[in-house]
Structure 1
Amino acid sequence: MSEELLAIADEIYALTLAEFTPARDARAKALKGSDLAKAVKTLKKPSLAAWIVNVLVRRDPDQVDQVLTVGAALREAAAAMSGEQLRALTRQRRQVTAAVTQQARSLATESGVKVTQAVTDQVEATLTAAMLDQRCAQAVRSGLLVTAITTTGVDEVDLGGAVALPAALGFEASPVASPDPDSDSDPDAPAAGTRPDLHVVPDPEAEVKALAAAQEALDEAEEQVKGARQAYEETVSSQTELEARSMQLQAEIDELKRRLADREESADEVDDALGDAEDARTEAYAELEEATATRDAAAAEVERRTT
């Protein structure tokens, strides 16, 4: 059943948010009476951020694959790199995720979906998590996300509620047709199907700075060099403290985003439950009318026979 369920989920999660619930319920109704019907009915509607990532995975799988490949390469190379190299790679990773996030936002806009900055941040956090963590990368590649995900790349991420099915990890979403390349899009975003330059880009001013530093070292006395070294060590210490504070603040921001996504998901679940309750009320009312009619007919018959 798992393969058939994955195939159905792949089809349903490729739809728009407005189409999701009706399509899911219709498919479950068509399979009524089977275990598969129950499983289909439990498929959760994705949050807006998760849906946008799912759209990106299906419409531009090559670029997503390349981003995930670069993320894997960065994870493998991190242990052997110096602090300066890691900072350069971190800056580039942020540039790449920001560019791909903007492209995902453009795809959503082309589908008529309004994307707020908060949702954009969740999309970027999800793509960043995919670059930092292999299991998060699998979750993204499945195209079956139901919530945005975040990670620092250190602690293991609980993906139990992040994907539609446990079997999603290792599953790859089916691609769909890309949008019209002539349509309006953000000029700063890479074109659909265009792979961004993801190799490590050196600082263009590095050589000039190095030459200036070398000339200064030649001109200065030993005491001046010692003073500069002491100042440098102080700035490194200050930078380390600021980086730790930045990571703490980012973790707090990610937690707030997660809570917001949870509230949005709860609201969607309540909406689905309300629809089911309305259907149940309509059926109960029809049964009440039928029972009332039967009772009135019986009462009329009794009255007729006693008069």
Structure 2
Amino acid sequence: MAQAVAELYALMPDAFTADRNKRAAEATKAGNKELGQAIRALLKPSAGAWLVNMLALHRPELISEVLELGAVLREAQDDMDQQQLRRLSGERQRLLRSAAREARSLAEELGRPVSAAVGAEVEQTLWAAMTDAAAAAAAASGQLVRTLEANGWDPVNVDGSVADPDSVKAPSASGGQRRKPAAKVRTGSGDSGNQSAKEKSAATAAAARARRAAQTLLTEAEREAEQAEEALRTAQAEVDAVANRRDELTDEIDDLRDRIRELEREVAATDRRAGTLERARDGARRTARAARRAVEKAQAKLEGLG
């Protein structure tokens, strides 16, 4: 099953369905009905999912770079390292934009250009892979059937996102994040009551700092999400405008084709009429020549009688 999935999701979209059905029929014919049913149930990937699969297949180093940066970002977020997060956030944006451009370029190389909207879906999926370890495993699997979405806080919903979940390596329990060292226990004859109070005070201060850091992260994430939504709306409006213009041009082409066919019919009718008239002209020319010869003979006879 795993081999069939890997080979099917490496195909071009227009070859997927026929090859899947062929493999399913062969498995059933070979006596493995359960495998045949499992293969036939495999879903054709969406355009965005297909392109992410192609990146995993043809540009594995780019996928690795995206996922590695995502792991570092999650680690910095876990550590509440604001300076590191700000630096990495800018790097993340640059890498995602670059990856989206590379994806569209790859699609053209494969003879299957995609729209800007599909490129945006790829970028969104890679961002989801950066924010969540399970999404990272799905994106790197090469067998996505749908694109992924993330809001930066909740776990990414990866249910039904890959063709064969059993073959996708599950992320570790830590999600790629660094484990924090355990606090040292101090022993001695000191005042345990004072030590306990200090520890509580330190814990309260740490919790307050964590809340402030989390609020900062939330504010930044909301601002970035709003900017991303605005960019998406602008991109969608541009896509819609181009699509409408394309429809207008297609309608004009259809009208011109109809007009060309009409003119071709008129040309054909004119050619037939011209042929008829030319034949009539040639007949009239022969009649006129015969009439001139008759006149000349009559004149000659008249002169002979005179």
Name the counterpart of 1:160.
159
- The letter for the 2-side match of 1:73 is V
After superposition, the Cα gap between the structure-2 partners of 1:22 and 1:76, relative to the gap in structure 1 and judged at 3 Å, is: same
Name the counterpart of 2:92.
93
User: Does residue 24 in structure 1 map to residue 23 in structure 2?
Assistant: no
State which structure, 1 or 2, has the greater radius of gyration over its C-alpha atoms: 2
Name the counterpart of 1:74.
73
- The letter for the 2-side match of 1:67 is V
Contact 1:130–1:140 under 8 Å retained in 2: yes
Contact 2:9–2:16 under 8 Å retained in 1: yes
Contact 2:53–2:144 under 8 Å retained in 1: yes
- Report the Cα distance in structure 2 between the residues aligned to 1:147 and 1:7, rounded to whole angstroms: 20
Name the counterpart of 2:124.
125
After superposition, the Cα gap between the structure-2 partners of 1:139 and 1:168, relative to the gap in structure 1 and judged at 3 Å, is: farther
Residue 169 of structure 1 and its aligned partner are, at CA, apart by: 2.6
Name the counterpart of 2:222.
244
Q: Secondary structure at the match of 1:15?
A: coil
- Report the Cα distance in structure 2 between the residues aligned to 1:238 and 1:26, rounded to whole angstroms: 54
Residue 82 of structure 1 and its aligned partner are, at CA, apart by: 4.3
Paired residues, number: 187
Name the counterpart of 2:242.
none
Name the counterpart of 1:50.
49
Q: Secondary structure at the match of 2:79?
A: coil
Identity of aligned residues (%): 37
- The letter for the 2-side match of 1:247 is A
After superposition, the Cα gap between the structure-2 partners of 1:100 and 1:252, relative to the gap in structure 1 and judged at 3 Å, is: closer
Contact 1:144–1:168 under 8 Å retained in 2: no
After superposition, the Cα gap between the structure-2 partners of 1:252 and 1:169, relative to the gap in structure 1 and judged at 3 Å, is: farther
Residue 21 of structure 1 and its aligned partner are, at CA, apart by: 0.5
**RCO greater where, 1 or 2, for CA within 8 Å and sep 6 or more?**
1
5 Å matches for 1:2-17?
5-17=1-13
Residue 6 of structure 1 and its aligned partner are, at CA, apart by: 1.3
- Report the Cα distance in structure 1 between the residues aligned to 2:160 and 2:231, rounded to whole angstroms: 20
TM-score (norm 1): 0.55
Residue 241 of structure 1 and its aligned partner are, at CA, apart by: 6.1
Report the RMSD for the aligned CA atoms in angstroms. Answer: 3.0
Name the counterpart of 1:116.
115
Q: Secondary structure at the match of 1:158?
A: coil
- The letter for the 2-side match of 1:23 is D
Residue 168 of structure 1 and its aligned partner are, at CA, apart by: 3.9
5 Å matches for 1:197-216?
none
Deviations 1:6-53 (CA, angstroms, capped at 9, x unpaired): 110000100000110010000001112510000000000000000001
- The letter for the 1-side match of 2:4 is I
